[in-house]
Amino acid sequence: MHRFITASMLYDLVQCPHRLYLDIHEDPKKRDPESKFVELLWERGTAYEKEVISNLKIPYIDLSSEEHEVREKLTLEAIARGDPLIYGGCIRAGDLLGVPDLLSRRDTGYVAGDIKSGSGFEDISSDDSDGKPKKHYAVQLALYTDILEKMGISAGRYPYIWDIHGEEVVYNLNSTPGPRTPDTLWQLYKDCLNQAHRILTLEEYTLPAYSGTCKLCHWNTFCKHHLYQRNDLTLIPELGRAKRDTMYSYVKSVKEFARTDVSTFIKGKGTVFNRIGADTLRKFHLRACLLADTRAVPLIKKTPYLPTIEKELFFDIETDPMRDICYLHGFIERTGNNPGTERYVAFFAKTPSWDDERLAFAQAWEYVQSSLPAAIYYYSKYERTWWRKLQKRYPDIASESHIEEMFDPSKAIDLYYDVVVPCTEWPCNDHSIKTLASYLGFKWRDPSPSGAASIEWYNRWIETGEPNIQQRILEYNEDDCVATRVLLDGILGLLSE
């Protein structure tokens, strides 16, 4: 059967090349059912697209409900007429097939666009990710642009996204995705396209790689089975696909790596492996040794700074990136290291409106102020990044310097970046709060706890108003806060040994 390369194939390939491989060559019956969160993303994407189109104030032709073959013919006719905006068109060149949401006429031809129910750029998960193009959007837009170029009707490599805020975000495909990446987005697209061709024709065989992407992937169970069976090197925290592939001809499994004399790979500050320095390799080797030893315990590499303040707040937020809203601020409060004083305090946005987001933020801010002096513990940069964002959104609640003062590292500790990463090692496959707190014996009350699941619950709660669902969200958030406390206590226990 002749197969076309489509935008969604490149989207998947950017997330994980093995996903494309399995989608094409593996039995679909072996997939997990799609997660409710992924289904929610699809529904929200479709609903948002319809809403945007129905509110359009400019003339357009709608081909979205036509059959594929007819659609392509009608698209070509619309282009020949010079229609200014084509919605739901279909374009093709060679083995490339594109169904861009939009085709917009410019002076010299057409550019393609997609409607996305999310931010046009990277979502804020870290302080430095805001404002960068999304590679998975870029390759899709580049495929449409490539087809337009091959058809001789491209107005340039400037496709665009209409994002959740109603903004038109232009993707300059001749630019690089970030300062540390020398290749342009166009080169990234070309590399992905070549790899897709190789995967399609079985010239390239890919391997699974343990990563955060796996959690929402329908091959999760299938791949996990193979990863553990192979004792794959990506089971070492942060080693990842690229480094595994670089090391693969020398060492194939965690156990084999643990048995190896790592000095044989080291040359001065470098190693025989491209782009892996000596210190990084030693760190991975230590992690491999911990994983390979069934009696291994976590290690303290150096003593972390931890404040000695009587009151402690363990802080965790819940957000819905599709609505760009922070809907819950949760705190576990403890005084004098006494479990009897522990209580959960939460501030919940009752509707997904900015008014209620503002109210919840104001209440959480007031609560923190009234709790001071207190040591604040959170896990990774997300909470701080979001509070900075909320401050910009609602500057009358707290000033920039107030927020910076609250997150002053002398009393606010990012347990991940300030403690776990620089000071500890664990016999675990990753350093997520779920993995480390579970390792320490903590159990979430919910049978399937995850940030993605809580977003899906929140959306269901908005639709139905069912108190049980709200309770589930609160319990999940409370357990995340308790898990942060469990992790701190676990680290303190290691320090005292």
Nearer to ligand SF4, 220 or 246 (CB): 220
Q: Which stretch binds ligand SF4 (CB under 6 A): 219-227, 245-253, 405-413, 419-427?
A: 219-227
Phi, psi of 146 (to 5 degrees): -60, -45
Q: 209 vs 413, which CB is nearer to ligand SF4?
A: 209
Give the containing element (helix H, strand E) for 354: helix 354-371
Tally Cβ neighbours within 10 Å of residue 98: 24
Whether 453 contacts 402, CB under 8 Å: no
Asked if residue 10 lies in contact with residue 189, where contact means CB atoms within 8 angstroms, the answer is: yes
Rounded least distance, CB 206 to ligand SF4, Å:
8
Nearer CB in complex with ligand SF4: 418/430? 430
Q: What residues numbered 118-157 form the site for ligand SF4, per CB under 6 A?
A: none
Per CB under 6 A, does 368 bind ligand SF4?
A: no
Segment near ligand SF4 (CB under 6 A); pick from 64-72, 113-121, 212-220, 278-286: 212-220
Position 16 contacts ligand SF4 (CB under 6 A): yes
Residue 179 DSSP code: T
Nearer to ligand SF4, 241 or 285 (CB): 241
Min dist CB 26 to ligand SF4, Å, is: 9
13, 85, 90, 217: which one contacts ligand SF4 (CB under 6 A)?
A: 217
- Candidates 5, 147, 192, 214; binder of ligand SF4 (CB under 6 A) is 214
Say whether residue 329 binds ligand SF4 (CB under 6 A): no
Count residues near ligand SF4 (CB under 6 A).
12
For residues 156 and 165, the answer to whether their CB atoms sit within 8 Å is: no
Q: Which of residues 150-209 bind ligand SF4 (CB under 6 A)?
A: 208-209
Cβ proximity to ligand SF4, 212 vs 336, nearer residue: 212
Binding mask 345-364 for ligand SF4 (x = CB under 6 A): --------------------
Q: For residue 116, which of 326, 393, 322 has the smallest C-alpha distance?
A: 322
- Paired sense of beta strands 102-106 and 109-115, if any: antiparallel
Q: Closest separation between CB of residue 12 and ligand SF4, Å?
A: 9
Residues in the chain: 497
Question: Least CB distance from residue 79 to ligand SF4, whole Å?
Answer: 37
CB 62 within 8 Å of CB 102: no
Residues 17-76 that bind ligand SF4 (CB under 6 A): 18-19, 22
We find the least distance from the C-beta atom of residue 116 to ligand SF4, in angstroms, to be 21
Distance CA 19, CA 37 (A): 18
Nearer to ligand SF4 by Cβ, of 226 and 392: the residue is: 226
Distance CA 342, CA 100 (A): 53
CA angle 9/83/164 to nearest 5° reads 50
CB of 35 to ligand SF4, least distance (A): 12
Nearest Cα to Cα of residue 113 among 65, 155, 67, 59: 155
Classify burial at 211, counting beta carbons within 10 Å of its beta carbon; exposed 0-12, middle 13-18, buried 19 or more.
Answer: middle
By CB under 6 A, residue 213 contacts ligand SF4:
yes
- What CA–CA distance (Å, rounded) separates 162 from 365? 33
Which class for 374: exposed (0-12), middle (13-18), buried (19 or more C-beta within 10 A)? buried
Nearer to ligand SF4 among residue 21 and residue 121 (C-beta): 21
113: closest CA among 92, 79, 81, 85? 85
Instruction: For residue 223, state whether it binds ligand SF4 (rule: CB under 6 A).
Output: yes
Residues lying near ligand SF4 in the complex (CB under 6 A) are found at 16, 18-19, 22, 208-209, 213-214, 217, 219-220, 223
